[in-house]
Structure 1
Amino acid sequence: MRESIKPAFTGRGAPLRQYEYLVITVGSGEPVPIAYQRLREHAEYGKWELERSTLYLGGQRKYLMRRKVLRVERTLTVY
């Protein structure tokens, strides 16, 4: 099982991306219940939501999860 995160850039000059993405790839020989358990853990503890799941010819699965990026602006002016 392989996981990779595509982060959203924040700060000045960054594109206005609303979500960051997590891609989970499961090989054809790996058990599906373990992959589902990993998806549930990411959803519960990391606030990720499942956007898309893909089943490829040969049995490989790919799950695309996303979560909203919270942008925080400074409210205190320091001189």
Structure 2
Amino acid sequence: GLVNHISLGTNKFIRFWESTRGLMPIVERDSPCYIKYNLHNLSFSYFISNLLHIVSDEDPIDRYWFSFPIDGTKEMYREDPIIYLVD
């Protein structure tokens, strides 16, 4: 198995992506990878929200505004490097 997401302190959040297709801004290649984000005081919130979405039987799209409170997308807070997994 793979670790899906990690919270490191209040700001650092790391998320596994099976595919980066559709992420904005665009990621240079579509490959399984881990992406690190700098989410000011929201790392733990995003950790819990991702966990709830993983264990949920249905896509709780009506709660996205609550679960993921950053306007637009957290991708604006993406940090380098992106760690690509070997294909």
Q: Please report the TM-score for the alignment, with normalisation by the length of structure 2.
A: 0.27
Which structure has the highest helix share of the two? 2
